[in-house]
Structure 1
Amino acid sequence: MKKQTTAIVLGLAVMAAPLGAEMPRPEGLAALGDVPVPGSNPQTDAKVELGKILFFDPILSGNYNMPCSACHLPDAGWAIQAPISFGYPGTTHWRNSQTIVNSGHYKKLFWAGASGSLEHQARSAARGGVAGNGEDDMMESRLAFVPEYRERFADVFGDDWPNIRHAYDAIAAFERSINQTDTPFDLYMNGDDAALSEQQVRGLELFAGKANCISCHNGPLLSDEKYYNTGVPPYSGWEDDEIAQITFRFEIFAKGATEEMYREIKDDPGLYFRTKEKADKGKFRTPSLRYTKYTYPYMHNGMIETLADVVDFYNDGGGLNDFADNKSAQIRPLNLSDGEKADLVAFLESLSGDEILIDEPDIPDMQPLPAVAN
């Protein structure tokens, strides 16, 4: 009789298959399906096309310089390959830019779940103090000066003049069209045993077993969308980058921290800004592991450079930050061997397929202003 072992992890059964047996497919993981679409903003080809143009057009930003694509570059994982995202010229952001790939599957957006929909996220980004820095009435007025937008908004939404809320609806529709459901992992979970290499299958078993990544990275999105403090160290730029320091202090002040926190804190409080609960300091939402091959560096502040570094970080039991008292209990040393770490990295790479690249659209011109007679 062939030997077979079972590891039980948080109620999730992981079978180590004997030679010739069915390949292991852990409970708690699944292939990604179609993106959910809210009834209030149905997808149409014309709406997606309008959203695509607006995504690349700097017209929806305060100084006419920061389109969505400035921080979500297609050739940089639909994010940016730098620790901290960009601000408008003369500023910087204070958190890592997250990819829009598969973002329509999230129930909440941003690192601390501040937006409940892509529509709301688009508006928040366009109006953000160090990102878009735009005002709705100003951006809406600009749209009205573009004949092509007047025509497209009338066709898609029936607007007499472009409605700024409909602009965010269109951008959200475009973002919901950027998905990847044919990764090696998805093909494997849908029954293709050959889609993963032997090393990746070993990594999958570690992911759901000894390494216990599945306790937080589960479901089709590979995220439980809950919040944890994993001990990620503070952003290093706050030590010597004056502009980053100014942005950080502005965000601390704007989000309602106490005076003591404003004067003394040197790390990102994360979820605390939304709940004002001390137990939430340093907690951030579990990100999806999909498309991570292209979205380096990692974590909310980009302080971990490669997937191998991420595995090392968790193998060591996470790190230490200014909110060590809140470090989540799940984060503890994994005792993985070098070979096991390599297997786990190989599996993580199977969660990304081919790079998603598109041709950028032509940006329409504003109509010329009428000449003024002397």
Structure 2
Amino acid sequence: MKTTKLMQHSAVLAVTLATALGASAAGNGKADALFPPLAPLPPVPVPKDNPQTPEKIALGKQLYWDARLSGDGSMPCVSCHLPALGWGDGGQISRGYPGTKHWRNSQTILNSAYYNKLFWEGNVTSLEAQAPAAAEGAVAGNGDSSVMEMRLRFLPEYVESFRKVFGSEWPRINDAWRAIASYQRTVVSDGSKVPFDRFAKGDKKALSEAQQRGLAIFNGKAGCIQCHNGPLASDQKFHNLGLPDFEGFKTDPLYQVTHRWEHYQKGVSEPKYRGADMDYGLYFQTKNSKDIGKFRTPSLREVKYTGPYMHNGVFTTLEQVVDFYDAGGSAAPHKSELLKPLGLTAQEKADLVAFLDALSMTEPLIHDEPKLPGAYQPLPAPVK
């Protein structure tokens, strides 16, 4: 489902939402006219060429947990996206493949099914493309596709599962990514447990008075709705916030190795590679200087469980995030014009944080670890 369809879904719910909110909580009116309103999530979008089936989802869950889909057999998807840590890894910067360090925060996969741009610089556009990009990334999974595929073929349980799900004689690595994508489409918010969603559907008691005040601030004085809008609470666009740098890039040699290597392999000019003074974000994709320091807007859904925040994990609490925006961000070239000092009071900040909590389920989404296939088995000798 494209962003336009999410916006259409927002429009359908807008009347119901406006009625639930009331005039005092609806913000300043201007924001509502310019941006899609927050709204409950629509059904999960599923591509026609990768339909959901229970068997495919179950296979994808196994593969998501299976370390054999990585370079040295130690880095399954779940190693950086753990259910108990908000489906991220809980660290400022992702852990990285053994012997390396990563260079960005591990984004949660919660509700990633709704994104049309994945990763912080939006360099893939589907979950089917996201899975191999992570599993094969040099500072992530560092797996070789042909080796990982061959491993699956020496596991009889997987051979049988792939045959049932995809009709192939042997497991194929592209089908593994399709199965993982299908599983990730089940890692989504349960709207019945999200206070804001219940409130938007007419339950006026679902939000506390402080949370309702926070919603009004979100839509009005704070202007959060400018970027965090629609059912996903993200415009899926790219913005430069003038964030402070991650200090490790200045002091830790392994972080510096990764930082410079990423610049080099993304094809920036030699002076930028040699200097490697910052993470250029979207610029790595476009090579347009106006895109330096821009990163895709993350969803605010389940934000209660998914810190640290920002592409470099620079903030550990929502209070810090709100303080940063209240100050108008930091000075930086090409910083978004949307960021301006807000002048929020201490009470308004507290109310805003209270509302942000209401965009998360009242309990975290946890999936139990699946049973994985056992040891590799030798293949029978070919019949002569």
**Which residue pairs with 1:101 in the alignment?**
110
Deviations 1:193-215 (A, max 9, x none): 11100000000000000000000
**Which residue pairs with 2:222 in the alignment?**
211
Name the SS of the counterpart of 2:333 in structure 1.
helix
- 1:134 pairs with 123, 140, 143, which one? 143
Q: How far has the Cα of 1:366 moved from its partner? A: 3.2
Distance in 2 of aligned mates of 1:38 and 1:368: 35
| 8 Å contact kept, 1:58–1:65 | yes
**Which residue pairs with 2:233 in the alignment?**
222
Within the alignment, does 1:60 sit opposite 2:69 as a pair? yes
| 8 Å contact kept, 1:10–1:215 | no
- 2:125 pairs with 93, 98, 116, which one? 116
Within the alignment, does 1:319 sit opposite 2:330 as a pair? yes
**Which residue pairs with 1:356 in the alignment?**
365
Distance in 2 of aligned mates of 1:218 and 1:363: 39
Q: How far has the Cα of 1:368 moved from its partner? A: 3.3
RMSD between superposed Cα atoms in Å:
1.8
Letter of the structure 1 residue corresponding to residue 103 of structure 2: W
Higher helix share: 2
Classify 1:298/1:262 alpha carbon distance in 2 versus 1 (closer, same or farther; 3 Å): same
- 1:186 pairs with 191, 197, 218, which one? 197
Deviations 1:30-66 (A, max 9, x none): 1112110000100000000000000000111111110
Matches within 5 A, 1:332-347: 332-347=340-355
TM-score, scaled relative to structure 2? 0.89
**Which residue pairs with 1:22 in the alignment?**
none
Letter of the structure 1 residue corresponding to residue 273 of structure 2: Y
**Which residue pairs with 1:29 in the alignment?**
38
Letter of the structure 2 residue corresponding to residue 209 of structure 1: G
**Which residue pairs with 1:176 in the alignment?**
185
**Which residue pairs with 2:87 in the alignment?**
78
**Which residue pairs with 2:284 in the alignment?**
273
Letter of the structure 2 residue corresponding to residue 219 of structure 1: G
Matches within 5 A, 1:234-249: 234-249=245-260
What percentage of residue pairs aligned between the two structures are identical? 52
Distance in 2 of aligned mates of 1:370 and 1:218: 53
The total of aligned residue pairs comes to 355
- For structure 2, the 5+ residue unaligned runs are 1-22
| 8 Å contact kept, 1:255–1:273 | yes
| 8 Å contact kept, 2:36–2:229 | no
**Which residue pairs with 1:12 in the alignment?**
32
| 8 Å contact kept, 1:147–1:366 | no
- For structure 1, the 5+ residue unaligned runs are 15-25
Name the SS of the counterpart of 2:205 in structure 1.
helix
Distance in 1 of aligned mates of 2:31 and 2:140: 42
Distance in 1 of aligned mates of 2:379 and 2:141: 29
- 1:92 pairs with 101, 112, 116, which one? 101
| 8 Å contact kept, 2:260–2:276 | no
**Which residue pairs with 2:263 in the alignment?**
252
Distance in 2 of aligned mates of 1:246 and 1:9: 49
Distance in 1 of aligned mates of 2:115 and 2:93: 21
TM-score, scaled relative to structure 1? 0.92
Distance in 2 of aligned mates of 1:155 and 1:27: 42
Letter of the structure 2 residue corresponding to residue 268 of structure 1: D
| 8 Å contact kept, 2:28–2:219 | no
Q: How far has the Cα of 1:116 moved from its partner? A: 0.6
Name the SS of the counterpart of 1:284 in structure 2.
strand
Distance in 2 of aligned mates of 1:343 and 1:107: 31
Distance in 1 of aligned mates of 2:260 and 2:371: 38
Q: How far has the Cα of 1:135 moved from its partner? A: 1.3
Q: How far has the Cα of 1:304 moved from its partner? A: 0.8
| 8 Å contact kept, 2:97–2:138 | no
| 8 Å contact kept, 2:31–2:223 | no
Letter of the structure 1 residue corresponding to residue 355 of structure 2: F
**Which residue pairs with 2:57 in the alignment?**
48
Q: How far has the Cα of 1:92 moved from its partner? A: 1.1
Letter of the structure 2 residue corresponding to residue 339 of structure 1: Q
Q: How far has the Cα of 1:298 moved from its partner? A: 0.2
**Which residue pairs with 1:233 in the alignment?**
244
**Which residue pairs with 1:17 in the alignment?**
none
**Which residue pairs with 1:287 in the alignment?**
298
Q: How far has the Cα of 1:265 moved from its partner? A: 3.0
Letter of the structure 2 residue corresponding to residue 236 of structure 1: E
Q: How far has the Cα of 1:367 moved from its partner? A: 3.3
Letter of the structure 1 residue corresponding to residue 32 of structure 2: L
Distance in 2 of aligned mates of 1:139 and 1:113: 25
Classify 1:276/1:214 alpha carbon distance in 2 versus 1 (closer, same or farther; 3 Å): same
Q: How far has the Cα of 1:7 moved from its partner? A: 5.2
